[in-house]
Amino acid sequence: MIGIDGGQHQVPEHRAKDARRDQALADIGLTVLRFDSRQALDETDVVLETIHRAIDHGPT
């Protein structure tokens, strides 16, 4: 799963909810890649490279 998070995900309640969801997905064998929306806009090449690496190398 790939997530692009806005600023609201920095709020402690959202971070906790995200962590629970990420763990539930990991428990069933899925890899979660989470990026800040600003990073996705300003560092698109880095985000894409990270995604490609994850696809090429499988779960970490």
Residues 6+ apart with CB under 8 A from 35: 2, 3, 4, 5, 47, 50
The answer, yes or no, to whether residue 57 has pLDDT greater than 90, is no
The answer, yes or no, to whether residue 59 has pLDDT greater than 60, is no
| CA separation for the pair 24, 41 (Å, rounded) | 28
**For residue 25, what are the domain limits?**
2-57
The answer, yes or no, to whether residue 54 has pLDDT greater than 60, is yes
Q: How many domains does the chain have?
A: 1
Q: What is the pLDDT of residues 15-45, one digit of tens each?
A: 888 889 989 999 999 988 989 889 999 999 9
The answer, yes or no, to whether residue 60 has pLDDT greater than 80, is no
The answer, yes or no, to whether residue 7 has pLDDT greater than 90, is no
